[in-house]
Amino acid sequence: MRTPLVVGNWKMNGTLAEARALAQAVRDGLKRPRGVEIAVCPPFTALTAVAEVLAGSAVALGAQNCHWGDSGAFTGEVSPPMLAEVGCRFVLVGHSERRHVFREADDEINRKVSALLRHALVPVLCVGETGEERRQGLTFTVVEGQLRAGLAGLGPEDIRRCLVAYEPVWAIGTGVNATPAQAAEVHGYLRGLVSELASKEAALRVRILYGGSVKPDNAASVVQEPDIDGVLVGGASLQAQSFIAIAKKSAATGPGAGE
């Protein structure tokens, strides 16, 4: 059984004081989570401060992006070794804002995935279609292209170490989330692609998250779908009680789940 994962993407929000306070509230509210794993992705400037707050807790640290190089003349960039040094476990790559606002190309995203794996970090490869692409019936074409490009050149063992996040661009920050059925359809398609690219065993192990206007009132219905293995939370992760509620509602069922 794949343990659900709930990741909070804080995006470009929070002073150091605010980041510490939010991390502490999440840590204290999720001291012994059962049936779910938790991670938060603060801005780069807050990674060290949040790592100190989360040390020894059940909440893992993640980053929102990285460069593919270990070092070099890349002004403004942060490398995988730097993220590993501050205690990151997960790193988002190919988030829709990186693709559409900052024009990151598929080959750049692929290089980031490979670099993260080399440094024992877990890439969270984000894929998703725009509203216009969905209206044109291109959802599967778009997500397949992004997944194949992002995982290009990786062997089955490396693919098993990756996570995928389906985040329909039309649902991010809009308050309109994909229905559980819409999300489940795409997740099932993505899992089939992972089976083709790696193996059936890998497809059974790789966690595929849903992202897009996730809130406490819709989290449970989304993660009840068998191919949805947790959620990538944006705006709602900036409020501790909201994020804690999402985490608890995303926990796998069973005695004490989410406590």
Q: Which of 37, 97, 129, 167 is catalytic?
A: 167
Q: Which of 95, 97, 129, 187 is catalytic?
A: 95
> Does the annotation count 95 as an active-site position?
yes
Residue with tokens 């020894």: 56
* Contact present, 12 and 43 (Cβ < 8 Å): yes
Residue 37, Cα to own-chain centre: how many angstroms?
Answer: 12
> Does the annotation count 196 as an active-site position?
no
Residues ≥6 apart with Cβ < 8 Å to 230 = 4, 5, 6, 7, 36, 37, 207, 209, 210, 223, 250
Give backbone dihedrals phi and psi of 174, rounded to 5 degrees, phi first: -100, -15
* Contact present, 178 and 134 (Cβ < 8 Å): no
Catalytic residues: 95, 167
